[in-house]
Chains A and B, each alone.
Chain A
Amino acid sequence: MRKIEPEEVYQKLYSAIKESGVILPKDVQEKIIHSMNSEAGLSKTVLTRILQNLDCASKNCLPMCQDTGMVLLFVEIGRDLDLSQVNLEEVIYKAVEDAYRDGSFRKSVVTDPLNERINSKNNLPPVIYYDFIQGDELKITGVLKGFGSENCSKVFMLKPTEGRNRVIEVVLETVKSAGGSPCPPTVLGIGIGGTMDYAAKLSKKALLREIDDINPDPYYKELEDDILKAVNSLNIGPGGLGGGVTSLGAKIEHYPTHIAGLPVAISVNCWADRKVKVVI
């Protein structure tokens, strides 16, 4: 059994979170630059300002967006890993808290969603999903999830007979009703199958994929392409001011489901697609 040091987990996660709020992943940045070629007018103006903003953020080491989000993490634990010496949750919490403090990130988490809504003042707790994987690695991936876009996310419990076209329709409904609110161009994570909650989890997992990767399943690759094309025909555009780039990518994760159901969850992320990835 391989042992890991809590300090290593802390340092890597702390640095990844702190950097994530300031520097946009290269794949997303390149996609934005590439998108500009097809745009004109205000659409191009918005994309230009986004790129200027990224320069300002890295130059001044400031968060690219003041909504530095709620931290959502997938923690995948290798079965051959000895974690007996590591209080994983404690280490993760400390990394989140310290990164938000040292990075001058906004603390946006309230301790109770309804009663009083008092700010926890350290951006804790994060949302964490734990899973087991083969091997002896510890993998922590996730997003700093802004809520301008999260408020536009939705779950649909479709009828099993409604099928593919209805899936495309509900994604389009979601994107249309979101309009300019989630800071388009957005990234769409789509979870299909499982149960209501599991589809939602998958939709978040889908957000972790590289923006230009290709779904290995040809059926879902085609569905992703069709959804992206349809979304980008809505003329919502960057900032919602019109244009051909409403979303930078649409990614699907799927899972078996019940004969009576077809859960579809759509997680909307803003262009500030701030991802975290740590492998130990």
Chain B
Amino acid sequence: MKHINLPLTEEIIENLTMGDEVLLTGTLLVGRDQAHKRLCELLDCGKSLPVELEGETIFYMGPSPAPKDFVIGACGPTTSSRMDAFTPKLLDKGLKGMIGKGPRYGDVAQSIVKNKAVYFYSFGGCGALYAEKVISSTVAAFDDLGPEAIRRLEVKDFPVIVAIDSRGNNIYS
């Protein structure tokens, strides 16, 4: 088991290999379908983004509402492939890590190698487990999207597995 502090650096990414079990600690962004669509529309129009992507890790997730006295509700990953059409553009903009579930298609794996990034598998359906790993959660952009808003999470010992490493080794192929 590897313990890693976010943000990801080039050195950390180089040392990650497909199949590694990793515990992440630090802050990460959260965004899914609609947030990806909006970020890419802004990039296409040459406009600035509401969040800085350089060096960031994004978690594909839309939480259930936080019950009273909870920081967040259930918060496991959603299916990554729905983000595939948007991902290369965000990687070119400096995004370094992605956390989701399931295989990636299209140019994603190539773009991960080109940009020296990494794709982590997180445990699908394990929303209650992940809720225990989140220390704080705030909306960072697109508040109107409700559960699809971009959030910033502070996490501790957040369990993931390296699914596609920076050399293109792919756990799904």
Q: Give chain A's interface residues, CB within 8 Å of chain B.
A: 42, 45-46, 49-50, 52-54, 56-57, 60-68, 104-108, 119, 146, 148, 151, 179-183, 239-242, 270-272
Contact A49 B129 (CB under 8 A): yes
Among B5-13, B41-49, B50-58, B117-125, the one that faces the other chain is B117-125
For A151, what are the chain B residues with a Cβ–Cβ distance below 8 Å? Answer: 79
B65, CB-defined interface residue at 8 Å: yes
Q: Which of B76, B103, B121, B163 has a CB less than 8 Å from the CB of A66?
A: B76
Contact B124 A64 (CB under 8 A): no
The smallest beta-carbon distance between A93 and chain B, in angstroms, is 20
A8 to B19, CA, bound (A): 51
A107 to B63, CA, bound (A): 10
A108 to B163, CA, bound (A): 28
Contact B102 A180 (CB under 8 A): yes
Q: Give chain B's interface residues, CB within 8 Å of chain A.
A: 19, 21, 61-67, 70, 73-76, 78-79, 81, 101-103, 121, 123-129, 131-132, 146-147, 159, 161, 163, 171-172
Q: List 30 A-B contacts (CB under 8 A).
A: A42-B19, A46-B123, A53-B126, A60-B128, A60-B131, A62-B64, A64-B74, A64-B126, A64-B127, A65-B128, A66-B61, A66-B62, A66-B63, A66-B75, A67-B62, A104-B67, A105-B64, A106-B62, A106-B74, A119-B146, A148-B79, A148-B101, A180-B101, A180-B102, A180-B103, A181-B79, A239-B121, A240-B102, A241-B171, A270-B124
For A239, what are the chain B residues with a Cβ–Cβ distance below 8 Å? Answer: 101, 121, 123-124
A26 to B163, CA, bound (A): 31
